């Protein structure tokens, strides 16, 4: 048996002799590479936090002490050290989540996986413990340097700084990356800290002394750091992280030296108030292909050959590629088009545009709120910004979309990748709210392309709108096969023609157009006539759709978005306002959080398939 086999809970980690911890770290890395190669997952981030996570569980007593992971994709090691060793179905239906999950373990707390929230969670938990007379319980927030670029983190720090007696430890996992290299003033400040040789020399000397003479060495090490004053004031004045806020700082520490990390965490734990522990780690540590990765392909990877690092599954052309290539073409034609990304240049497909037009791309870090308001300013000053984010992350900037962009009628285009059901990343990453929240924004126009050709066409159409925000949304994965319209009715495309007065007008939204055609085929087998249309611009509801609905017996709207306040509800409201009383049947995502599974499995679970929808409609029409 290896060391990892004997770990069922954190107490087992604390029982391992210090001299065996390097062997445990090696075992964990081997396990991660072998396991994730079979399932896919977030490999790079987890390889980088092995020693850090071991140290956390040796210093703190989870779940009595609370560990909060920011964007918990780096929680695989935590799962292993809390007894979860079956990674065979990682991120698959019935298997382990790719993020912390309360349903899995009492050691998991925050599972939303949206960045920059850990400090707020941790401060709230810590205050609650103190107010309930449990001040001896510590709360630890593990946050990356990338997540520290998010506004919420700074808001939390502003409050934590005045909570002098709060038993709160902030571990900054500094690997210079989120999805991509961290940029901005914070990144520059951290780089200064990393290269301050005075820190490193003193820390190395103190650590070696401690190893040689534990009692005397510990005293000398404590003296060097200065419990009251801090090493930052001795060696490098004004060089601590957020030192002007008055938060105690320990570091920087080599995050792959478990003993050094453990020592730093113990000092922070004993301090008696909020303390930052600055840990330097390397993403992908211990696995050469991941360490060599400059494009961060190993941040989230599919199945691969662990011997070569080469993928087993070669992806075809994905939806993002269509957007990416068209942006480069548009950039050559229009000097006013600029782009904004929130620390996800490559995942959202702006890397090619950035390579061609580096001065016209702004990476604002994990700060979607700032991105939207900055875009409004760019638009006011005469440019047309394209804000490219995952659909789930538009949720974070709703107020700015509403009050800064729409209220001021700014021509900003939002391109939402991974819209609809994304599946394996779990409840927080499904892009199922964007059309619902967009539907209540005055003046906003939203397009849902059904295939790659429509992505390109509708992106260009959006960029011609200068007096209101526009949204283009498309799903994750391989791009859909082109669906050719048989005719057009104004801005609408008819995908399947029928009689002038069909039994059912089927409205397919974006990628669900293929599902709508499948429903039409099944209804036809039952003698039910249909007309299938793609509205293209689904919000606001077009006049042409109202006129087509007047001639139908029923209208069905199929969308991969929250059915409540979605396109189906917008169609219903528009028809009623126009005096059209035809029954409308919305088919979309129910108002609940969806567990991780494949996209197909999730769609099956929620009944968003051709078979289920057709059966449902047949029953409704019969009545």
Q: Which two tokens stand for residue 304?
A: 């691969």
User: Over 60: is that where the pLDDT of 208 sits?
Assistant: no
User: Mean pLDDT over all residues of the chain?
Assistant: 84
Residue 246's Cβ-side half-sphere holds a number of Cα atoms within 13 Å equal to 9
Q: What is the mean pLDDT of residues 442-457?
A: 96
Strand, coil or helix: 470: strand
The winner for highest mean pLDDT among 75-79, 309-313, 349-353 is 349-353
H/E stretch holding 537 reads strand 537-539
Q: Show which residues are catalytic.
A: 283, 368, 396
pLDDT the model gives residue 46: 85
Weakest mean pLDDT among 302-306, 382-386, 596-600: 302-306
Q: What is the mean pLDDT of residues 491-518?
A: 95
Q: What is the mean pLDDT of residues 109-119?
A: 82
446 vs 54: CA distance, rounded Å: 47
* Strand order across the 537-539 sheet: 361-363, 337-341, 384-390, 413-417, 470-473, 445-447, 537-539
User: Over 70: is that where the pLDDT of 241 sits?
Assistant: no
220, part of any domain = yes
305, part of any domain = no
Residues 117 and 33 in one domain: yes
Write out pLDDT tens, residues 323-346.
999 999 999 999 999 999 998 898
387 vs 350: CA distance, rounded Å: 10
Residues 381 and 462 in one domain: yes
Of 165 and 462, more confident: 462
User: Over 60: is that where the pLDDT of 569 sits?
Assistant: yes
28, part of any domain = yes
**What does pTM read for this prediction?**
0.79
Q: Of 289, 308, 331, which residue constitutes the final position of a domain?
A: 289
Q: Which two tokens stand for residue 354?
A: 């950035």
Weakest mean pLDDT among 309-323, 394-408, 596-610: 309-323
Phi and psi angles of residue 140, each rounded to the nearest 5 degrees, phi first: -125, 125
Strand, coil or helix: 7: coil
Q: Which residues 6+ apart lie within 8 Å of 140 measured at CB?
A: 56, 60, 65, 66, 67, 68, 122, 168, 169, 170, 171
273 vs 485: CA distance, rounded Å: 65
- CB 594, CB 613: distance < 8 Å: no
CATH number of the domain where residue 424 is located: 3.40.50.970
Q: Of 426, 448, 473, which residue constitutes the final position of a domain?
A: 473
Question: Longest C-alpha distance within the chain, in Å?
Answer: 92
Q: How far apart are the first and last CA of the chain?
A: 65
Q: What is the mean pLDDT of residues 586-596?
A: 87
- CB 369, CB 402: distance < 8 Å: no
Residues 581 and 617 in one domain: yes
- CB 424, CB 92: distance < 8 Å: yes
Q: Which two tokens stand for residue 229?
A: 């004053």
Residues 81 and 107 in one domain: yes
**Cα 398 from chain centroid?**
16
Q: Which residue has the tokens 């293929």?
A: 514
Q: Which two tokens stand for residue 404?
A: 């800064």
Ramachandran category for residue 16: left, alpha or beta (phi over 0 → left; psi -120 to 50 → alpha): beta
321 vs 455: CA distance, rounded Å: 10
Residues annotated as binding site?
73, 113-115, 145-147, 175, 287, 368
Residues 346 and 405 in one domain: yes
pLDDT the model gives residue 300: 62
456 vs 489: CA distance, rounded Å: 20
Number of domains in the chain: 4
Write out pLDDT tens, residues 40-53.
777 878 888 899 99
Write out pLDDT tens, residues 468-497.
999 999 998 888 889 999 999 999 999 999
Q: What is the mean pLDDT of residues 294-318?
A: 66
309 vs 312: CA distance, rounded Å: 9
Write out pLDDT tens, residues 243-287.
667 788 888 888 899 999 999 999 999 888 899 898 888 877 866
Q: Residue 70 sits in which domain range? A: 4-196+239-289
Q: Which two tokens stand for residue 322?
A: 């269509």
Residues 92 and 165 in one domain: yes
Of 366 and 192, more confident: 366
Q: What is the mean pLDDT of residues 575-588?
A: 94
CATH number of the domain where residue 511 is located: 3.40.50.920
- Angle in degrees, 0-180, between the axes of helices 258-271 and 197-212, rounded to the nearest 10: 100
Residues 171 and 203 in one domain: no
Phi and psi angles of residue 19, each rounded to the nearest 5 degrees, phi first: -70, -10
For residue 540, is the peptide bond before it cis, meaning its omega torsion is within 30 degrees of 0? yes
């Amino acid at each position: 048996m290896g060391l990892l086999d004997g770990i069922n809970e954190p107490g087992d980690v604390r029982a391992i002799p210090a001299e065996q911890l390097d062997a445990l770290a090696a075992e964990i890395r081997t396990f991660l590479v072998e396991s994730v190669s079979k399932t896919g997952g977030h490999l790079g981030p987890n390889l980088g936090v092995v020693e850090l996570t071991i140290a956390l569980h040796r210093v703190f007593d989870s779940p009595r002490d609370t560990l909060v992971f920011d964007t918990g994709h780096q929680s695989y090691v935590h799962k292993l050290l809390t007894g979860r060793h079956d990674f065979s179905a990682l991120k698959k239906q019935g298997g382990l989540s790719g993020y912390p999950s309360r349903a899995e373990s009492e050691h998991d707390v925050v599972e939303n996986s949206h960045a920059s929230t850990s400090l707020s969670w941790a401060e709230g938990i810590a205050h609650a413990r103190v107010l309930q007379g449990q001040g001896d319980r510590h709360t630890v927030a593990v946050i990356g340097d990338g997540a520290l670029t998010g506004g919420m983190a700074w808001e939390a720090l502003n409050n934590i700084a005045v909570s002098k007696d709060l038993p709160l430890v902030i571990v900054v996992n500094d690997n210079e990356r989120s999805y991509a290299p961290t940029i901005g003033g914070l990144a520059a400040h951290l780089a200064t800290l990393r290269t301050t040789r005075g820190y490193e020399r003193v820390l190395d000397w103190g650590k070696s002394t401690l190893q040689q003479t534990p009692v005397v060495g510990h005293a000398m090490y404590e003296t060097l750091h200065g419990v009251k004053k801090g090493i930052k004031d001795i060696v490098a004045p004004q060089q601590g992280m957020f030192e002007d806020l008055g938060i105690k700082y320990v570091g920087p520490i080599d995050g792959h030296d478990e003993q050094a990390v453990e020592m730093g965490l113990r000092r922070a734990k004993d301090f008696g108030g909020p303390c930052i522990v600055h840990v330097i780690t390397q993403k992908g540590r211990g696995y050469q292909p991941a360490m060599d990765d400059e494009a961060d392909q190993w941040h989230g990877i599919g199945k691969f050959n662990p011997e070569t690092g080469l993928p087993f599954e070669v992806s075809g052309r994905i939806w993002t590629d269509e957007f990416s290539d068209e942006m480069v073409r548009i950039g050559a034609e229009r000097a006013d088009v600029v782009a904004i990304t929130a620390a996800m240049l490559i995942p959202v497909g702006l890397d090619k545009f950035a390579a061609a037009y580096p001065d016209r791309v702004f990476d604002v870090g994990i700060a979607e709120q700032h991105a939207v308001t900055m875009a409004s300013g760019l638009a006011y000053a005469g440019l047309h910004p394209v804000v490219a984010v995952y659909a789930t992350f538009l949720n974070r900037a709703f107020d700015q979309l509403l009050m800064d962009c729409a209220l001021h009628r700014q021509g900003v285009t939002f391109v939402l990748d991974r819209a609809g059901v994304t599946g394996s990343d779990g409840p927080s990453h499904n892009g199922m709210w964007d059309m619902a929240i967009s539907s209540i924004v005055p003046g906003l126009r939203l397009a849902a392309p059904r295939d790659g050709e429509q992505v390109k066409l509708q992106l260009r159409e959006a960029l011609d709108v200068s007096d209101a925000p526009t949204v283009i949304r498309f799903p994750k994965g391989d791009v859909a096969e082109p669906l050719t319209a048989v005719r057009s009715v104004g801005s609408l495309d008819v995908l399947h023609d029928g009689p002038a007065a069909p039994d059912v007008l089927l409205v397919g939204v974006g990628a669900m157009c293929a599902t709508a055609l499948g429903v039409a085929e099944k209804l036809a087998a039952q003698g039910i006539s249909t007309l299938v249309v793609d509205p293209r611009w689904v919000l606001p509801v077009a006049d042409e759709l109202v006129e087509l609905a007047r001639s139908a017996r029923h209208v069905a709207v199929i969308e991969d978005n929250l059915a409540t306040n979605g396109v189906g509800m917008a169609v219903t409201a528009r028809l009623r306002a126009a005096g059209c009383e035809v029954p409308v049947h919305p088919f979309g995502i129910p108002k609940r959080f969806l567990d991780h599974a494949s996209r197909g499995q999730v769609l099956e679970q929620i009944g968003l398939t051709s078979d289920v929808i057709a059966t449902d409609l047949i029953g409704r029409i019969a009545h």
